[in-house]
């Protein structure tokens, strides 16, 4: 299990209130495993205050007026990009999109030079999605606290806002997740979503399991703080929460799964599997976009009594509002 | 001729004022033929009040502040997308663009799942352009009044904001269009613009004609409420208004027209044809973008005394402001 | 040397204050060589007042609220597009992006028809980048003062905001540039940046030199007001300022340079060359994006004591704020 940093209260104490004397002072959110228990509590509390804005007739507060954020998306993602974009707009920030297709990246400029250019234009924070694991940390090392940096998914490494929004969504339904059995099912190897969730759920004392065909399960995954299964039945047994992962369909071409129908036969989360193995009120989650009939059956996805999939999307906006607020409110003078 | 719904005053009565007791209560604008006479009058009146904003030094009113609209454009269209975008901005809405190139659509997500995601992010209305006829109605059936939906062109089916802006443009020049001969010339088969105009012009009692080579004229087009011609001369004879349609140049490759020069010879709207057949003050319209020298001669397009082409663009913004306002002001509790 | 227009004070007089009786009255900024000394002084002074906004916690003033600008970018450029976009946003303008990929251009519409459409939608000014030299002037001839037009780079012709931001950046470090030796190094033939700088630096009495391999040096370049060199050493000798140009790597494929390593050997601006030939406190500039190790060595680019590269980016936003303000504040009634 991942160890929270020494300065934060251990989830083992069950203490769920943040230490009021330790305050957020990060300009970067890059690595789920480096977030302390206190950090996460502060993010959750901030998100809670912002979530209300989403259901108002006028979805706009002036909190970040005159702050400038750029979405640097080197991989396509309407969902995450739009989530950050709307999060910024609800807080009255100026948020600009920067996509591969029209970028100087094509001209061979390094991402550090590109980000330096944005910083010199007055940009306060960048939100980065990139196919290279570790690129956000590399930028953070270069910039120190001169530029806010939020990781919106870097390679297979991490996707901290996903882990945070998943935690937030669960805590809206369950008062405590300590000891709860949470099973992540699907392509664990290539999943930054899985890595982010393992780190953050462990911080809150969950009993995290992962299940995947052996070709999609890294050998040393248990070192991250989870129990690994190559068969789905023991993984689902007594589960409180099931998280499906999106199966990148190109994995089949790479020979990592024999066929979609075989995957469907052994791993798809459907009503029958849930009823046979999980707790009666098991929560179902999916980071989206879904391949219906591949990793999740449609009736499971659409059952509002157990599926949190829509809630996850809404939580995502609230969490991103919280992070933009916290990162942009951290004084630049202090270190990360 | 299309029949207005029973509850609305018939154009045959010539009554041009809306029934004050019937108020707009739609969350969707999808089908021109389902708009009642009262609906259209309310749209026109609302557009009129908004049109003034466009000529002010400060083109901004706070009407839709804190409302969120997403342009879901699955087909390229700078013109219509920008028109909706500016319409939203003039009303202070937050309007975000979503284009094919960067969308999850590429990842195989259904448009319903994509729209559900947007709704869960707090989006109040979507503006949709898509190549599939009927996709907006499909979304409306799914969402009911949970999400505002405006059709910005779906396949060959409909493009209601085009029919509305054309009507608005005409009514700025002519006090009444009852009985006026209006000729739509060009590729009728593939034209959602033609279908929208036939429906809306009929509602106001116009005498609608269409003219096209037989390969570009659907067999049953007269059932929509118009007279069909395969030769342009009788169609233009005594016309009050001539609407040119854009000729998709790829139709020639498909063998539907023998050659552009033959099309030009028989169907291009030029000065000579207009002077020989139409009324002296005939109005010329085109939805844009134009193929100059193909469906319309340049001197006709640029003659400010008769061409409404630029006015149509301006009217389009006013009509879209009106629709965004009406759709977003309709309480979500009421049915569509 | 380019001659300033008769009505403006000559740089030869050393008079650096603008003539208060002559005020900005342009709706277009297209050609660096047509800007008068007074024009440039007014731009610099305006930029100075706006530059402060960039370092404020709230980077937003209401100056251009309700004004609408469209970035018409027919060539990819994140850097310049984002610079204009942020400049507009800091002044509270509505600024919309229009890119090739989603434009009606693909449908064969002329740029004049596209711009007419935007004007009819209420757009106050367009910022244009296009591969055709002279296209901005063509638009200006068509529109007169009906539409604000700012050239953001047209073919090899001009890029006036670059020349202006370079001048602004230099004047932040040097009180006067009259008589200063400024060397522009690189692909002069294909460089609108070089042409813009030659015109504007001459207006302020600089001693402008250019250096390039003969294949990248136009025969008649000296007529623009500079001394040409095919060897870098005499060009750098005693230089106060060195401007590197970006080398489009595709020039090598076209056979204009033998190889990148040969270019590097003879033309790259590195520490050794600077120390051997230039003044001790020589300023180094680059319009970005850089090819590190090709036209400029990394240690030169990153030496904050002499490199103005980051300052140029910041100055670019201030200059563009100034131009948007000046162009949009010019009454439409007056001629260009």
Where exactly are the structural domains of chain C? 26-159+315-329, 161-309
CA distance C300 to C283: 10
Residue indicated by tokens 């999980």? A278
CA distance C13 to C205: 10
Does domain C26-159+315-329 correspond to CATH entry 3.40.50.1370? yes
- Minimum-distance CB partner of A86 among B103, B106, B122: B122
CA distance A90 to A197: 26
pTM of the predicted model, to two decimals?
Answer: 0.91
Tell whether B76 is within 8 A of chain A (Cβ): no
Residue B99 scores a pLDDT above 80 = no
Tell whether B249 is within 8 A of chain C (Cβ): yes
Span A83-110, average pLDDT: 81
Q: Residue A317: its chain B contacts at CB < 8 A?
A: 121-122
The pLDDT value recorded for residue A2 is 35
Residue A4 scores a pLDDT above 60 = no
Residue A8 scores a pLDDT above 70 = no
Tell whether C161 is within 8 A of chain A (Cβ): no
Name which of B53, B22, B27 is nearest B39 in CA terms: B22
Contact between chains at A76 and B103 (C-beta distance less than 8 A)? yes
Contact between chains at C102 and B314 (C-beta distance less than 8 A)? no
Residue B11 scores a pLDDT above 50 = no
Question: A160-313 adopts what CATH topology?
Answer: Rossmann fold (3.40.50)
B88 to chain A, closest Cα gap in Å: 14
Tell whether A75 is within 8 A of chain C (Cβ): no
What the block records as the tokens of A72 is 């640097």
Residue A28 scores a pLDDT above 70 = yes
The pLDDT value recorded for residue C269 is 97
What the block records as the tokens of C202 is 């001459």
First-to-final CA distance of chain C: 25
To the nearest whole percent, how much of chain A has pLDDT over 90? 79
The pLDDT value recorded for residue B107 is 59
Higher pLDDT, B146 or A14: B146
Contact between chains at C110 and B76 (C-beta distance less than 8 A)? no
Report the complex ipTM.
Answer: 0.91
B158 to chain A, closest Cα gap in Å: 27
By C-alpha distance, the chain A residue nearest B331 is A57
CA distance A226 to C93: 51
pLDDT tens figures, A33-54: 999 999 999 999 999 999 999 9
Question: With a CB-CB cutoff of 8 Å, which residues 81-100 of chain C face chain B?
Answer: 94, 96, 98
The pLDDT value recorded for residue C12 is 36
Tell whether B116 is within 8 A of chain A (Cβ): yes
CA C225 from centroid of its chain's CA atoms? 17
To the nearest whole percent, how much of chain C has pLDDT over 70? 89
CATH C-level class of C161-309 = alpha beta
Contact between chains at A76 and B106 (C-beta distance less than 8 A)? yes
Q: What is the DSSP letter of B289?
A: S
pLDDT tens figures, A107-131: 578 899 999 999 999 999 999 999 9
Contact between C211 and C231 (Cβ < 8 Å) = yes
**Three-state helix/strand/coil letters over A252-298:** HHCCCCCCHHHHHHHHCECHHHHHHHCCCCCEEECCCCCCECCCECH
The pLDDT value recorded for residue A70 is 97
B25-159+315-329 and B160-312 agree in CATH topology:
yes
- Minimum-distance CB partner of C96 among B77, B82, B291: B82
CA distance A137 to A109: 18
Which of the four pLDDT bands, split at 50, 70 and 90, describes residue A100?
low
CA distance C169 to C319: 10
Question: B160-312 adopts what CATH topology?
Answer: Rossmann fold (3.40.50)
Bridge-based pairing state of the strands A28-29 and B148-154:
unpaired
CA distance C124 to B280: 35
Q: Residue C101: its chain A contacts at CB < 8 A?
A: 101-102
CA distance A72 to B159: 34
CA dist list (Å): B85 to A4, A126, B66: 46, 24, 15
Higher pLDDT, C184 or B77: C184
- How buried is residue C214: exposed, middle or buried, by Cβ count under 10 Å (0-12/13-18/19+)? exposed
pLDDT tens figures, A277-309: 999 999 999 999 999 999 999 999 999 999 999
The pair phi, psi for residue B62, each rounded to 5°, is -85, 10
Tell whether C59 is within 8 A of chain A (Cβ): yes
The pLDDT value recorded for residue A254 is 80
Given 3.40.50.300, 3.40.50.740, 3.40.50.1370, 3.30.465.10, which CATH number is that of B25-159+315-329?
Answer: 3.40.50.1370
By C-alpha distance, the chain B residue nearest C329 is B57
Question: With a CB-CB cutoff of 8 Å, which residues 258-317 of chain A face chain C?
Answer: none
Span C150-178, average pLDDT: 97
pLDDT tens figures, B248-297: 887 777 888 888 888 888 999 999 999 999 999 999 999 999 999 999 99
pLDDT tens figures, C77-106: 889 999 999 999 999 999 998 866 544 455
A225 to chain B, closest Cα gap in Å: 31
Which of the four pLDDT bands, split at 50, 70 and 90, describes residue A256?
confident
Cα–Cα–Cα angle for A195, A161, B113, nearest 5°?
Answer: 100
CA A37 from centroid of its chain's CA atoms? 16
DSSP secondary structure, A61-126, as one string: --TTTT-EEEEEESS--HHHHHHHHHHHHHTT-EEEEEEGGGSGGGGT--HHHHHHHHHHTT--EE
Cα–Cα–Cα angle for B62, B68, B74, nearest 5°?
Answer: 130
pLDDT tens figures, C7-54: 344 343 333 344 444 589 899 999 999 999 999 999 999 999 999 999
CA distance B82 to C234: 52
């Amino acid at each position: 299990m991942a160890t929270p940093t020494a300065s934060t209260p251990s989830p083992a104490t069950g203490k769920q209130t943040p230490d009021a004397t330790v305050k957020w002072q990060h300009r970067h959110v890059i690595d789920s495993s480096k977030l302390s228990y206190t950090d996460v509590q502060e993010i959750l509390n901030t998100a809670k205050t912002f979530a209300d804005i989403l259901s108002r007739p006028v979805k706009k507060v002036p909190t970040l007026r005159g702050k400038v954020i750029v979405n640097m998306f080197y991989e396509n993602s309407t969902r995450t990009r739009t989530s950050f974009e709307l999060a910024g707009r609800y807080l009255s920030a100026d948020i600009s999109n920067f996509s591969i297709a029209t970028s100087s990246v094509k001209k061979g400029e390094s991402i550090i030079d590109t980000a330096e250019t944005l910083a010199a234009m007055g940009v306060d924070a960048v939100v980065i999605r990139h196919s290279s694991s570790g690129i956000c940390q590399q930028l953070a090392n270069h910039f120190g606290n001169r530029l806010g940096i939020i990781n919106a998914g870097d390679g297979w490494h991490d996707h901290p806002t996903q882990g945070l929004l998943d935690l937030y969504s669960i805590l809206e339904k369950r008062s405590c997740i300590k000891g709860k059995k949470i099973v992540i099912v699907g392509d664990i190897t290539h999943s930054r979503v899985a890595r982010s969730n393992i780190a953050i759920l462990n911080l809150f004392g969950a009993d995290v399991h992962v299940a995947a065909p052996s070709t999609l399960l890294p050998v040393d995954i248990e070192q991250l703080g989870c129990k690994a299964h190559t068969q789905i039945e023991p993984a689902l047994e007594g589960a409180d929460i099931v998280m499906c992962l999106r199966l990148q369909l190109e994995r089949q071409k790479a020979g990592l799964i024999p066929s979609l129908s075989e995957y469907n036969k052994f791993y798809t989360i459907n009503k029958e599997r849930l009823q046979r193995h999980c707790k009666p009120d098991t929560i179902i989650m999916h980071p989206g976009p879904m391949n219906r009939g591949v990793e999740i059956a449609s009736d499971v996805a659409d059952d509002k009594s157990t599926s949190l999939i829509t809630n996850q999307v809404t939580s995502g906006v609230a969490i991103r509002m919280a992070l933009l607020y916290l990162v942009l409110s951290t004084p630049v003078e202090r270190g990360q």
